[in-house]
Structure 1
Amino acid sequence: MQTGRGGEKHLYLVVDDWEMGYSIHKLDVDEFESTAGNKLRRLPEPCALRIEAPADHLVHHRPAQRRAPMLIYDTETASLAVGPRLTPALRPVGFMFIVPVGQRLYAFNPRRGDQQCSFEVLFRLSWRAERWSVGSVPAPMPLGKHETVTAYALHPDGRTIFVSARNWSRLDGEREGGTHSFDTRSSAWTLLRLKELDTWVGLRRDGFLCSCAVASRGGAAVLPEWKLGRKTLFREDPKSHVGAPMLAYMGGGRFCLVECAARPGLTVAEALSGEDGCVLHVAIFEAKYGKRGELETTALHLARSYLVTRLLD
């Protein structure tokens, strides 16, 4: 999600919608209408950028492609830069989380088998602004051997990264997990106490919006109560999803939900093998607490649905 100079909101979608590579589509969410949610349409053309990757080179980071670089797209200048090659620490899982902080990109793997999660930073070389480099962060992630990153967020101060992890093994003597903060200026990690957290909003696997209220600063540090929305936000059966749904915060209590699924009557395999096999839903809604403290969402009054082709999921 990107905010323009005039305050308008844009959503950038990277879609594998043609045989030779990927397309980056720019959507103006401020133009969504309340009556357009059920009408299938095409993604706007021309797209913001089309990336050609013949013979699967350049874009994919498969085990055999250890020399493939990272591509970095600048939404303000609409330019594409060829970044550094991924380090061995970032390659094993096949995907990674990237958090933009200022002019740097902090990248980490959610897990690395039985090894500690990797955490590295990508930055521009001062003497060659168009070139990028990758380096290690001085302070490694303070996670246990069996802890996996499950969520992350950037604090409004623009310098602090929150990372939540869960222990999937739960062996005797091991902690369940926790939320840590990383100060990008001091390179220091801190395990947060519950009373230091603000309200968090997330999306469960079944499509229910969930939130966690902050504990009182003057009270005991007890587990806060999780609140759930009344109904799922998904328009499609999760079994028909193509890729994971994405939830983006737009500010002012508004959220954007992106959901891609196989077209009705098609299996996921069939949807990925033919043209226009998928439906992409983009919906805007507001979230707030009701009079009784329950989590409420407005009707998905701003929405659009697109016919798309997915080839490389």
Structure 2
Amino acid sequence: MPKRPRKREHGGGRERLYLVFDDWCHGYSIRKVNLLPGENHQRTAFSDQDDQDKVPHFPRPFFRMVAPRESPKYFTSAFGTRILAMHPRDPEGDLLEGYFPMLDVRSRCVTTGPGQRDLFYPIYHLPVGNKLFTMSFYSFEMLCLESFEMLCLEELSAKVSHRDSSKEWSWKELEQQPFNVCDVTSYSLHPEERTFLISTKEDTTEATYSFDTERHSWKLLGNWVLPFDGQGHFDQHLKAFVGLSKEPDTLGQIYCCDVPIYGTPEGRCPVPSMNLCKENLFISGDPMDKHVGATLVYMGGVSKFCLVQCVNKEVRVPGLSLPGSWMYRLTTFSLSLDDQRKELTTGDTCHSQYYKVPKATTKSLLVQDPVAFWM
């Protein structure tokens, strides 16, 4: 009896990178990219326009979603392998406008959840288990999915139910957070997957809070912040949070931060140990690359990551630089710490691949950080 093929370590053989673009007249397309080892070895510098013309396009759309364009900040992932388009809906409009779509990328099935009327920027989507916490300027709410049914598109005509499926969903308004959401600098899910850590900075005042997703309670951990910008990922191999820096002095470098120690006698957590990667991942070796935005994606495995970077390939004439082609630069890499947990490095693991951005993508989407999910 032949042996089953071994699963690849890089993503377990099924995971893929999913990217969202508003390159469709009615909304967004989702593109699926295979990042298996050995498939993205490409030089990162271009000698002339002919080289740029050889850059591949992204694969054809994996799926399309109807939603207002130029608003990528409303996309999130939750509940396993589902991508959610949580754009605000018109409460007085058509019935379907009161819901948001969810796509399961494994089964290509779609279901809907009850939409929200007010989602004011900035917005943070914090998924854990069968719950999704949404924190915006005026509200902090929880969407609970105790049980729900997946509606398969090809079976709708035969098995559609007349009962109100929205009864299986519910939004619950929670106690307002003890800080201004505009002051949030970074956040991450604790490895025990019950508590969120959220850091804030107002002028020179720094603070990190925890939110218990079962007790629905806030707690001040200390007057320090997680060092990275935006979302951090807990890496099982490093046993630490990993995130991207967007500060001017460290732009394009990776931070590694130990998990804060809870339960100290004074009730506060001491400042966790932090490390800064010596390599700058925004530097491609091509002087024509102008950095626009970036998103760090955790791929699991042995500290495997993908940096999704949007760049503009400038056109240079004597004494002048002009905007050129928009591209995504996908850089996969692994992180390692030495035995003393002092030096964080990517070693020789970085491999990059350029892709041309779909032509109809709006500039409003391109100037924001890419929407990228690994699942």
TM-score by length of 2: 0.62
| Alpha-carbon contact 2:200-2:207 (below 8 Å) kept | yes
Aligned to 1:286: 334
Cα 1:278–1:193 shift into 2, 3 Å: same
1:61 CA displacement = 4.7
1:209 equivalenced with 2:249 (yes/no): no
Aligned to 2:312: 262
| Alpha-carbon contact 1:26-1:48 (below 8 Å) kept | yes
Query: In structure 2, how many angstroms separate the alpha carbons of the residues matched to 1:102 and 1:123?
Result: 10
Aligned to 2:143: 122
Structure 2 matches for 1:1-313, cutoff 5 A? Answer: 6-33=12-39, 35-36=41-42, 38=44, 40-45=55-60, 47-53=61-67, 61=87, 69-88=99-118, 90=119, 92-93=120-121, 95-109=122-136, 112=137, 118-124=139-145, 126=147, 131=165, 133-143=169-179, 145=180, 148-168=183-203, 170=204, 176-192=205-221, 199-205=240-246, 206-213=251-258, 223-224=271-272, 226-235=274-283, 240-242=290-292, 244-251=293-300, 252-265=302-315, 277-290=325-338, 293-309=342-358, 310-311=361-362, 312-313=364-365
Cα 1:34–1:269 shift into 2, 3 Å: closer
- Supply the AA of the counterpart residue of 2:243: G
Identity of aligned residues (%): 28
Cα 1:8–1:33 shift into 2, 3 Å: same
Structure 1: state its 5+ residue gaps. Answer: 171-175, 272-276
| Alpha-carbon contact 2:91-2:117 (below 8 Å) kept | no
- Supply the AA of the counterpart residue of 2:343: E
| Alpha-carbon contact 2:10-2:299 (below 8 Å) kept | no
- Supply the AA of the counterpart residue of 2:200: A
TM-score by length of 1: 0.73
| Alpha-carbon contact 1:97-1:107 (below 8 Å) kept | yes
Cα 1:194–1:16 shift into 2, 3 Å: same
| Alpha-carbon contact 1:282-1:304 (below 8 Å) kept | yes
Alignment coverage as a number of residue pairs: 287
- Supply the AA of the counterpart residue of 1:42: H
CA RMSD between the two structures:
4.3
Query: In structure 1, how many angstroms separate the alpha carbons of the residues matched to 2:191 and 2:321?
Result: 38
Deviation track 1:142-189 (CA, whole Å, cap 9, x = no partner) reads: 32x586222222233333222222223x5xxxxx23222222222222
Structure with larger Rg? 2
SS of match in other structure, 2:315: coil
Structure 2: state its 5+ residue gaps. Answer: 1-8, 45-53, 75-84, 152-164, 227-238, 366-375
Query: In structure 2, how many angstroms separate the alpha carbons of the residues matched to 1:127 and 1:231?
Result: 45
Query: In structure 2, how many angstroms separate the alpha carbons of the residues matched to 1:17 and 1:55?
Result: 8
- Supply the AA of the counterpart residue of 1:202: G
Cα 1:137–1:269 shift into 2, 3 Å: farther
Cα 1:302–1:65 shift into 2, 3 Å: farther
